[in-house]
Amino acid sequence: MAALANPFGVTGALPPESVRSWVAVRRFAVLLAWETVAIPVVYYRWDVVLLQQPGRYRPEAESVLVLLVVFGAERGLAGRPRWLLAELRESGN
């Protein structure tokens, strides 16, 4: 089987201009969380129905909150040294 050609050179690393910016993804996650969490919160807190069957949005709200926790942890751990991240990884096992 023939080897696939690497269009970016011998090292296989992506050039800096092709690295995707995660700012737009984080912004989408925050806006999705705001929209999804607001529906059941307004219903359970103030008994206001914004959409039909607002209780059905609760599982989606929980999954979006997990997404926010992941992006928040990534943002919080971004500037940490490698040895600290390795210690966190080892303590989880």
| Ranges of each domain in the chain | 21-92
Q: Could you tell me the two tokens for 71? A: 């992006």
pLDDT digits (tens, 9 = 90+) for 55-72: 888 888 889 989 888 888
Q: Given this model, what pLDDT does residue 14 score?
A: 47
33, 59, 38: which is closest to 50 by C-alpha?
38
Rounded to 10 deg, the angle between the 23-46 and 58-77 helix axes is: 140
Q: Given this model, what pLDDT does residue 45 score?
A: 93
pLDDT for residue 46 is more than 90: yes
pTM, full prediction: 0.56
